[in-house]
Amino acid sequence: LHHNKENTAVLIALISNLAFIRLAGFASSAFATWAPKTFSYYASHLRDLLLHDASLVLNWINSIFAAATFNFGPRTLCFRHTDSGNLPFGWCAITALGRFNARRGGHLVLWDLKLVIDFPPGSTILIPSAILRHSNTAIAKCERRYSFTQYTVGGLFRWVDYGCRSSEEYWGTLQGDELARAQKERAERWKQGLAMFSTLDELCQ
């Protein structure tokens, strides 16, 4: 992404802010705790990406996520949606900020799980946002709600898996058995993603 001079200055100030450094690190650590296999998948791909292009710069050295979004509100509200550009089995870290009565508004709604969750300022949650429909409820006009999210788009994983090449370049080099094997792997990728999710028993080992 390219930002103009003014926006770049604001983003650098936010990224350099100690509070956001800590929030970013906390979300990344929670990700490593509750989804260690997926976290390892992120780590290996991020490593290969940075080794391929030394000009790339992480937002925070204590966070595994490649991208972040700051929603400035003043009453941030998102309608029911999925983040289709993210890795299907990947996780997105969402942090609520501001000042509002979390018993009356600002709830996180996970439609597919039929859950409405109290989500007060300072809360962080990790969800597979590409496959779970989610939204949040409105707050009062006199209140303020902002959000901070971290994620990694699926295209980065695909780029690394394709040898740091575009889809056209990658598929254009395949023939015969190699092409058949790649097509089979693509058709069964959902199984790989499903296997990334950990059970509570696995986490307790």
CB atoms within 10 A of CB 126: 18
Instruction: Give the pair of three-digit tokens for residue 49.
Output: 């990406």
Q: What is the pLDDT of residue 174?
A: 87
**What average pLDDT does range 31-50 have in this prediction?**
97
Q: Which of 2-16, 29-43, 158-172 has the highest mean pLDDT?
A: 29-43
Output the CA angle 21-10-146, nearest 5 degrees.
65
Q: How far apart are CA 97 and CA 146, in angstroms?
A: 5
pLDDT band at 1 (very low <50, low <70, confident <90, very high): low
Predicted pLDDT of residue 58: 94
**Domain spans of the chain, in order of start:** 5-34+59-154
User: Can you give the pLDDT at residue 201?
Assistant: 92
The pLDDT of residue 172 is above 70: yes
- Rounded Cα gap, residues 58 and 52, in angstroms: 14
Q: What pTM value is reported for the model?
A: 0.91
Is CATH 3.60.130.30 correct for 5-34+59-154? yes
Rounded average pLDDT over 173-189: 91
Mean pLDDT of 164-171: 92
pLDDT confidence tier of residue 3, bands split at 50, 70 and 90: confident
Reduced 3-state DSSP string for the chain: CCCCHHHHHHHHHHHHCHHHHHHHHHHHHHHHHHCHHHHHHHHHHHHHHHHHCCCCCCCCCCCCCCEEEEECCCECCCCCECCCCECCCCCEEEEEEEECCCCCCCCEEEHHHCEEECCCCCCEEEECCCCCCEEECCCCCCCEEEEEEEECEHHHHHHHHCCCCCHHHHHHCCCHHHHHHHHHHHHCHHHHHHHCCCCHHHHHC
- pLDDT band at residue 33, thresholds of 50, 70 and 90? very high
Query: At residue 145, does pLDDT exceed 90?
Result: yes
Please check the confidence at residue 35 and state whether its pLDDT lies above 90.
Answer: yes
The mean pLDDT value of the chain amounts to 94
CA distance 179 to 190: 19
* pLDDT for 205: 82
